[in-house]
Amino acid sequence: MRFLNIPILLLGLLFISSCREDRIQPTLFGSMVGTVIRDADNVAVNNAIISTTPPTSLILTDEFGRFALNDIEPGTYTIRAEKEGFSPEVESITVFEEKTANVIVKLS
């Protein structure tokens, strides 16, 4: 009879120790916005190709040279802007949780 109590006691302790609530941390994202301009005269460059490392998505600038990447993971990104007739340019930017990072890329 005594030997039966030990396994029951061990099972009871295992059950009690495994019944705890795990906290789930929400994933928080940030955003980045930017403008691509010509270095010589600060005129907006439309349809410039924007890519990032680590990869997010490939986008084009609008008619005012602007672009936006929303809901991206926080971290440091390398932005590459390129358009035919210009030398590609690279900028580094850090995105923080629930913040919007801004960058201006000048093409020459």
Place 11 in a pLDDT band, splitting at 50, 70 and 90. low
Identify which of 102, 103, 101, 105 has the alpha carbon closest to the alpha carbon of residue 30. 101
Whether the predicted pLDDT of 1 surpasses 60: no
Mean confidence (pLDDT) of the chain: 89
* pLDDT for residue 23: 76
What are the backbone dihedrals phi and psi of residue 55, each rounded to the nearest 5 degrees, phi first? -65, 140
H helices then E strands: how many in the chain?
Answer: 1, 7
Place 104 in a pLDDT band, splitting at 50, 70 and 90. very high
Residue type for position 7 = P
Q: How far is CA 101 from the centre of its chain?
A: 11
* pLDDT for residue 31: 97
* pLDDT for residue 56: 86
57 or 40, greater pLDDT: 40
Whether the predicted pLDDT of 80 surpasses 70: yes
Report pTM. 0.75
